Structure 1
Amino acid sequence: MQATSTLDRPEAPPAPNSRTFARAFADVRQAWAHRELWGHLGWQDIKQRYRRSVIGPLWITISMGTTALALGLLYSQLFNEDTSTFLPYVTAGFVIWAFILGCVTEGTDVFIANEGLIKHLPAPITVHVLRLVWRQVLFFAHNMIVYVIVVAIFFTSLDHPYKLGSDPVIKPGLSWNILLVFPGFALLAINAVWIALLFGIISTRFRDIPPVVNSFINLVFFMTPIVWHAGVLHRVTGDQGGGNWRLLIAELNPVYHYIEVVRAPMIGHPIMWHHWAIVGAFTIIGWTLALVALRNWRARVSYWV
């Protein structure tokens, strides 16, 4: 046998660098190409959750309806609001909040919960995030039944003026502006993907993140104008002594802007375009952070789980 010098052997090709933005974009692009996979898995998640149930996913609608009705009636009395206008406001806000809540809380656990699939299914990790968001979209569609029922009952009241502090404000009411719900919710879903992707990667490495998020998410709910509106702060502060700084409680809360881009056209409120601008800015910043995390730690997720 003829000996071969190591100098005469062909050099092995260098290992490709997996920490590139090209691979991060490729992961997202390939995950979208697998939409039949995560679309089917999302449907199966709902079927599995309500298997052997008599009315199945309608339990989602019943739970949302009873919660929205109870909160709407309670807080309309606490804040001395007209129930016919306040209940649609609470219902729309609570339906949107349920979508955000599901994406955030389940997003922190998205890779941990899919440990088996990640280790045995050769697929982009973004597939599991899209599966989660698609499942929450289906839940949102079920919850919209409650919104349709409430709006049908109080339809004539949505054009009535309401009070912001002591000043009456004329609402445009339901009009063609309701079509803005579709781009608003699409923007919300796009943000849900980067939130679940970023929090999912971080939570897989640091397992203290999910309980921390679950602990503070209820505080975010009560700090966000969902069962109360910003006009309550205006009513409390008035125009005296610079007390309007309290209005920043709502305006500095990013969740408020995410909810308003969908809720305002749903209930015929005036369209405030600064909500869209703020959500757009958070979309760019959030996706930048998510792509950085995907670039640096995408390959390590399978080891961390």
Structure 2
Amino acid sequence: MRSTEALPALRAPGVPERAWVRDWRLAGQDLARCFKGWHVWALLGVSDIRLRYKRSRFGQFWITLSMAFFVAGIGAVYGGLFHQNIRDYIPYLAVNMTVWTFIQTSISESCQAFVEAAPYLRQEGLPKSTFILRVMMRNVMALGHNVVIVPLVFVLFGYAPNAAALLALPGLVLVLAGVFLASVSLALLCTRFRDMPQIVGNLLQLAFFVTPVMWHVEQLGPNAVYVDVLNPFAAFLRVVSEPLLGRVPAPGTYATVLVALGVLALVAWPCFARFRSRIVYWL
């Protein structure tokens, strides 16, 4: 089928366009066309969730039930293991696991974003970024199912959030931006090198244990600074979870997130502009 790739802009005769300028311009057009055609990746994401739970009695609510079982089981065990007050620990765990599951699953599934979209990419001239947002869309839907647990846990354990909870919304925007930028780089890398998804999966598993998802930063004592400053996963987690738990994130947490976003953008955008046109040949 005929590709719908945008045509090069008109230039004065005899003035060739530099390759890197063309790449950056086409990458910008790709992203603009993607957001203009938002209904495409939105429908693809919804379809992925529906197919995943097709013919299931509980359907998409298995997402919520799975998270609820995990929080209840791990909360009971680790609360006693860490000598934590269950009334405080389970709300902490519920919020952290909800946010962390979104970050981890989005990054992990982005590794196959272009590979699983091969039938579309080989036949249609759809924007490449459409398939990154497809992955994010289905994980945002899963996040919506999981977040239902948080107010239920708060009510069950008598935990009342305060006005700081409003900061969770801009924190979520920062998380979405970070996940998108990381997904762009990883989708390109994993399409070119098919061993990379296994490496990314192992690194995410390691990140889970060194990030304060199931334990408190204060338990590290003097070493807590390494988690606060040098672990970007912890910073992205805390800009959403801490407001929901009634605390305002420290300025250093926001600084770490902004620095991480800058680094991710400096890697993702040039890579996407340079290698976007090669994705089809790597499939």
| TM value normalised by structure 2 | 0.90
Return the letter of the residue paired with 1:52: R
- Among candidates 19, 25, 30, match of residue 27 of structure 1: 30
Residue in structure 1 matched with residue 6 of structure 2 by the alignment? none
> 1:38-53 counterparts in 2 under 5 A?
38-53=41-56
The one-letter amino acid paired with 1:277 is A
Kindly state the Cα deviation for residue 250 of structure 1 after the two structures are TM-superposed: 4.9
2:98 aligned partner: 95
Correspondence 1:273 to 2:273: no
Q: CA 1:189 to 1:58, structure 2 compared with 1: closer, same or farther past 3 Å?
A: same
Q: CA deviation at 1:15?
A: 8.5
CA distance in 2, matches of 1:117, 1:74: 46
Aligned-pair Cα RMSD in Å:
1.9
> How many percent identity over aligned positions?
27
2:107 aligns with: 104
Structure 1 residue 275 displacement after superposition: 1.1
1:13, CA displacement in angstroms?
Answer: 10
Give the 3-state SS of the residue equivalent to 2:119 in structure 1.
helix
Structure 1 runs of 4+ aligned residues shifted over 3 Å read 11-19
Give the C-alpha shift of residue 12 in structure 1. 11
Q: Report the counterpart of residue 277 of structure 2 in structure 1.
A: 299
Is the 1:223–1:250 contact (alpha carbons within 8 Å) kept by the matching residues of 2?
A: no
Whether the 8 Å contact between 2:211 and 2:234 is mirrored in structure 1 is yes
Which segment is superposed worse, 258-267 or 213-222?
213-222
**Residue 215 of structure 1 corresponds to which residue in structure 2?**
202
Q: Is the contact between residue 63 and residue 146 of structure 2 (CA under 8 Å) also seen in structure 1?
A: yes
Out of 289, 295, 299, which is 2:267 matched to? 289
Match of 2:162 in 1: 175
**Alignment partner, residue 141 of structure 1:** 144
- Residue 258 of structure 1 corresponds to 236
Q: Distance in 1 between matches of 2:269 and 2:213?
A: 31
2:220 corresponds to which letter in structure 1?
L
Q: Secondary structure at the match of 1:177?
A: helix
Query: Which structure has the bigger radius of gyration?
Result: 1
Partner of 1:225: 212
- Unaligned 5+ segments in structure 2 are 1-12
- Name the counterpart of 1:73: 76
Which structure 1 residue ranges, 5 or more long, are not aligned?
Answer: 1-10, 159-173, 235-243
Distance 1:71 1:190 in 2: 30
Once the two structures are superposed, residues 214-258 of structure 1 have per-residue CA deviations (whole angstroms, 9 ceiling, x without a partner) of 122211111110000111112xxxxxxxxx246414532110000
**1:127 corresponds to which residue?**
130
**Distance in 2, Cα, partners of 1:262 & 1:154:** 20
Output the CA distance in 1 between the equivalents of 2:229 and 2:158: 28
| Cα distance between partner residues in 2 of 1:95 and 1:154 | 17
**2:98 maps to amino acid:** V
Once the 2 structures are TM-superposed, how far is the Cα of residue 17 of structure 1 from its aligned partner?
A: 3.9
Q: For 1:69 and 1:251, how far apart are their aligned partners in 2?
A: 30
CA distance in 2, matches of 1:245, 1:72: 24
